[in-house]
Chains A and B, each alone.
Chain A
Amino acid sequence: MNRVLRYKSFQVGSFGLLLALVPLLVTNRYYLTVMVFIGIHTLLVVGLNLLMGYAGQISLGHAAFFGLGAYTSGILTTTYHVSPWPAMVAAVVLTVTVALLVGIPALKLTGYYLAMATLGFGIIIHICFKELVWLTGGPSGLVGIPTLGIGKIMLDEPKAYYCLVWVATTAAIALSLNIVDSRVGRALRAIHDSESAAGASGISTSRLKIWVFAVSAVYASVAGSLYAHFITFISPSSFDFMFSVKLVTMVVVGGMASIWGAVFGAATLTVLPEVLTTFHDYDIVLFGLILMVVMIFMPQGLTRGALDIWDKYRFQRQRSLLVNR
């Protein structure tokens, strides 16, 4: 147990160190902005991966929690002049409440029925963002959200914001690694494999599923608040069904049931469209093509896929060494 803990703190520590190096080497605001978005997406995907990869429950409405976080932060700070940090806490409270209200009946469903229920929930929330014009600003969006500050220091430079986002994301990763290796994590994986078997061995499956649903909603809410304070303008189209699908894609491409896979998936799918912009109108076709090819040849996701290829390579090298001898 102690060794596992040490190994984990080593992983998180070296990851943190790597991240700390970035702002020293990269000074261009564009790359730092990309890194900020990767951080926000990672936070979302790590949470969703807990739900999908570990508990085996799909959510096609995760953009709604992201949006609830962003809009609560945005509305409280612009219309009601609440300062950003308390607003962020309020956003988390609201999002968890909504997650519980939806999760308790919805998580009784399984498979595609759960997917449909979360999808429907996501669309309802998206329509509310659009139609409650007096509250949300409607399709025109909400302007003038203040940037975050710590004390008197305003985090309005991408570099400062990069640090904030990645501190939050690294903390979330560390927390998730702990959850995954705890009693709860083992119970979650038991649910993933067989819900009835898990129930029979004394795990309170429904309570645990709702718990993990709420946790992933918290991650999404915090990510939403961070997003809103970073780009200072939000509109409903950033929180639509396609964004939910994109998040699920990030989880699957990175590799389900792997926290580091989530980081990888979020980073890949945030950077890929940026790289593809050089192909102008062809980028959407290429994106679809790459997605299909990756999934066909690495159905377990990029992390597992890469490991498989490495194993195969090592195996072949060993064999050729043996043959040569």
Chain B
Amino acid sequence: MSINRTSLIQIWTVLYLAAALVLSGCAKKEEPKVPFKIGGIFAITGPASFLGEPERNSMELLAEQINEKGGINGHAIDLVIYDTEGDATKAVLNATKLIEKDNVLAIVGPSRSGTTLAVVPIVEKAQVPLLSCAASVKITTPVKKWVFKTPQTDVMAVAKIYEYMKAQGIKTIAILTVGNAFGDSGRQQLIQQAPDYGFQVVADERFGPKDTDMTPQLTKIRSLRPGAIVCWGTNPGPAVVAKNMRQLGIRIPLYQSHGVASKKFIELAGEAANGIVLPTGKISVTKNLPDSDPQKATLMKYITDYEAKYNSAVSGFGGYAWDGLQILAQALEKAGNDRAKIRDEIEKLTNYVGVSGIFRFSPQDHNGLTKEEAFVMVKIANGDWQVIQ
């Protein structure tokens, strides 16, 4: 018994010594530079997980790629990612934790408009650059010093749809929006911009994010005979709307938002998806883009890499975080380990070709996208996207 114990101790001592030697040897060989610590806060679980999960995945994928290439000027990227569950209180806690405890250089996220607005005061006070992945125009208008965002705004999306609808000779519209921040922000834009295009909004209906039946709203809308229905929401609600319209035999043209611009929507709505028109980032129609399109190469690479690593279909949402980290990486290359300089470099960035568009930041514009470049109009036919020229 006692022999056993001593020999065990000896073995352990030898092992420890060996380990210490190996470790110290490594440390001496090459001194790795301090990694750049970047934070991410996404709604990875909860009602907005369809945003948060691809965002987290994309960010991890890109960080891995950057580190494989030897990092940024020799500094590896060290990601710290937290889950907001789409909840404002959680988001505030996460942001504080990233800034005060993990001491990150910059933050990508949050995924939702509400959570972003909740953390804005914190990053403004702590002076940490934030690259939000949320849609609402309120995030960057008015411009806040430390806050940027990568997705297209709902202002652009509504303008893009309305332009197309006007060309179709539509005069009256019914809007059907989901009762969360995305739907609400879209609804405000739809109502606000309607007079600019000469549209009359004859119905303004709402549905809950977890509602399972929209036939009452659609029945009411049908009785008002609008020229078109615009539905603003994220899955699964809009898919139910499309199905319910088939079920009721309503033949009014249906327009959807970029919130459903993923293969998932077509899968959910099935047959009922055909004929729906919506604006989408170029990512959904990458293979149909002409080779001359400046974004095509970026998009192809992102899609192949993502689908190879995660074995699931890519959506435009992950691209928001991808763009966020790319922009940060470019800024980090020039600015190094300094939050204020990183912010300045982001603001100076005017030629980043990303997934969601070509970004041209300026002190007046912390989103940097235009609606012409950020969106294409597509029609769903035979379960696939068709670009409308």
Q: Which residues of A does B touch, CB under 8 Å?
A: 28-30, 33-34, 37, 130-131, 133, 138-141, 143, 156, 158, 231-235, 237-238, 273-274, 277, 280-281, 283-284
Contacts of B99 in A (CB 8 A): 29-30
A-contacting 9-mer, from B113-121, B267-275, B328-336, B371-379: B113-121
Complex Cα spacing A129 to B132, Å? 25
Given contacts A280-B83, A281-B44, contact A30 B114 (CB under 8 A): no
Listed from nearest, the 6 A-B pairs whose CB atoms lie closest are: A30-B100, A139-B184, A29-B100, A233-B118, A235-B114, A30-B101
Residues on A with C-beta less than 8 A from B118 are 141, 231, 233, 235
Chain B residues contacting A281 (CB-CB under 8 Å) are: 44-45, 83
The contact of A141 among B45, B88, B90, B101, by CB within 8 Å, is B88
Q: Is the CB of A29 within 8 A of B96?
A: yes
| Interchain CB contact under 8 A, A139 and B180 | yes
Q: Give the nearest-CB partner of B136 in chain A.
A: A140
User: In the bound complex, what is the Cα–Cα distance between A280 and B40 (angstroms)?
Assistant: 13
Which residues of chain B are within 8 angstroms of A232 by Cβ–Cβ distance?
Answer: 121
Whether B165 is near chain A, meaning CB under 8 Å from some CB there, is no
Q: Is the CB of B88 within 8 A of A231?
A: yes
Once bound together, how far apart are the Cα atoms of A156 and B124, in whole Å? 13
- Asked if B185 and A140 sit within 8 Å, CB to CB, the answer is yes
Instruction: Verify A237–B88 contact, CB threshold 8 A.
Output: yes
**Cβ-defined contact, B86 with A237, below 8 A:** yes
- Taking CB atoms, residues of chain A closer than 8 Å to B180 are 139, 237
A7 to B136: give the CA distance in the assembly, Å. 55
The one of B92, B97, B125, B206 that contacts A231, using a Cβ cutoff of 8 Å? B92
Cβ of B181 within 8 Å of any chain A Cβ, yes or no, is yes
B93 within 8 A of A: yes
Establish whether residues B92 and A139, one from each chain, have CB atoms under 8 Å apart when the complex forms: no
Contact A30 B97 (CB under 8 A): yes
Does B138 sit within 8 A of A, measured CB to CB?
A: yes
Q: List residues 74-102 of chain B with CB under 8 A from any CB of chain A.
A: 82-83, 86-90, 92-93, 96-97, 99-101
Q: Which of B96, B101, B188 has the most CB of A within 10 A?
A: B96
A237 to B184, CA, bound (A): 13
Bound form: Cα–Cα A238–B185 in Å: 18
Cα(A30)–Cα(B103), bound, Å: 11
Query: In the bound complex, how far is the Cα of B120 from the Cα of A234, in angstroms?
Result: 13
Contacts of A140 in B (CB 8 A): 113-114, 117, 136, 138, 181, 184-185, 188
> CB distance A156 to B125 under 8 Å?
yes
Partner of A238, one of B88, B93, B136: B88
> What are 11 A-B pairs at a CB distance below 8 A?
A30-B100, A139-B179, A139-B184, A140-B117, A140-B181, A158-B96, A231-B88, A231-B118, A234-B88, A281-B45, A283-B45
Contact partner of B181 (CB less than 8 A), chosen from A34, A139, A273, is: A139
Minimal beta-carbon separation of A125 from chain B (angstroms)? 15
Q: Which residues of A contact B181 (CB under 8 A)?
A: 139-141, 235
Give every chain B residue within 8 A of A141 (Cβ-Cβ): 88, 114, 117-118, 181
Q: What 1/0 mask marks residues of chain B from 135 to 156 whose CB sits below 8 Å from any chain A CB? A: 0101000000000000000000
